[in-house]
Every structure is written in structure tokens, then in C-alpha cells.
């Protein structure tokens, strides 16, 4: 399993910061390695205090389950396959904004964004990962 490097985690943070500024959002950004360890974290001035923890929960959830948090959220509703899975493992969430980072079909890490709407958080996370992979010439 390839580990994301600190320089790459910082690059993801920089992409996220640029995208959030373009959208006039004050966000928190968490980058995790594939073992669900925090690699990088950034809190923008003016971001909500609750976004600190939520960004980390989103990244951790996406890493542990290797699925976007909003997709896991759909699967964890009553009468669905993994109902209430967010209660497992501690500090998880199924709110949109956490996505796994895959390179060549291998888990490379994850990103969690919090501070906008759930949809805005997801879009910043997705676009940041796409920019990162394109800059490295990597495939998902």
C-alpha cells in the first residue's frame, strides 16, 4: 500500500483552499493516509468551530470504508444494508464531503471538507482530488 506523502497532502490542501476561496467559503480540510491517520489539516480564518471535527470525521469515514461519505449515508438509512454504521468505529459521519483518494485502484488516502453546505463540501473535495490526480498524471 502506497502512503500519501506530506508534500502531496499539502498539495491537496492548497487545491482545496483555492477552490474554497473561489466560492467564498471558509472551510476546514483534513487529509488522511490509507491507514486512517491524519496527514494534514488546515482551518481557514472564519471557519465554523464545528467544521474542525467534522472535516476529520469525513476523511476518517471515507478512509475506513473506502467510499464517499454521502454514498455511505444512503446505505446507512433504516432498512438499508448498513443501517447506522456511522455509530461504529467512533468519530464517523455520513454527511457529504469525505471521499477516498484512489490511485490505480489502490487506496491512497482520503480527504474531508467541512464549512459549506454538504454539496459544496463534496464538490470541493472531489475537485481537489481530481486536480491532484491530474497534476500527478495518475488514474483513479
Residue 59 falls within a domain, yes or no?
A: yes
Q: Which domain holds residue 96?
A: 6-136
List pLDDT tens digits, range 94-129: 889 999 999 888 999 999 999 999 999 999 999 999
Residue 34 falls within a domain, yes or no?
A: yes
CATH number at residue 111: 3.30.450.150
Residue 21: what pLDDT?
A: 97
Counting every residue, how long is the chain? 140
Per the model's pLDDT, the better-predicted residue between 38 and 70 turns out to be 38
Residue 28 falls within a domain, yes or no?
A: yes
Residue 136: what pLDDT?
A: 84
Residue 1 falls within a domain, yes or no?
A: no
Do residues 57 and 92 make contact, with C-beta atoms less than 8 angstroms apart?
yes
Q: Of the given ranges (21-25, 44-48, 105-109), which has the lowest mean pLDDT?
A: 105-109
Q: Check whether 92 has a pLDDT greater than 70.
A: yes
Helix %, strand %, coil % for the chain, to 5?
45, 20, 35
The overall average pLDDT reported for the chain is: 90
Residue 65: what pLDDT?
A: 86
**How many structural domains are present in the chain?**
1
Reference 28, options 68, 3, 58; nearest CA is 58
Residue 84 falls within a domain, yes or no?
A: yes
Do residues 114 and 51 make contact, with C-beta atoms less than 8 angstroms apart?
yes
Residue 18 falls within a domain, yes or no?
A: yes
Residue 46 falls within a domain, yes or no?
A: yes
Residue 31 falls within a domain, yes or no?
A: yes
DSSP character string of 85-107: GGGSSSS---SS-EEEEEETTEE
Amino acid at each position: 500500500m502506497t502512503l500519501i506523502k506530506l508534500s502531496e497532502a499539502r498539495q491537496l490542501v492548497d487545491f482545496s483552499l483555492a477552490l474554497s476561496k473561489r466560492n467564498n467559503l471558509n472551510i476546514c480540510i483534513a487529509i488522511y493516509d490509507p491507514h486512517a491517520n491524519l496527514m494534514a489539516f488546515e482551518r481557514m480564518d472564519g471557519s465554523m468551530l464545528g467544521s474542525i471535527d467534522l472535516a476529520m470525521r469525513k476523511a476518517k469515514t471515507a478512509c475506513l470504508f473506502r467510499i464517499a461519505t454521502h454514498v455511505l449515508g444512503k446505505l446507512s438509512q433504516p432498512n438499508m444494508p448498513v443501517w447506522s454504521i456511522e455509530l461504529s468505529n467512533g468519530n464517523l459521519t455520513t454527511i457529504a464531503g469525505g471521499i477516498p483518494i484512489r490511485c490505480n485502484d489502490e487506496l491512497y488516502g482520503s480527504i474531508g471538507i467541512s464549512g459549506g453546505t454538504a454539496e459544496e463540501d463534496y464538490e470541493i473535495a472531489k475537485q481537489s482530488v481530481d486536480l491532484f490526480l491530474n497534476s500527478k498524471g495518475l488514474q483513479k
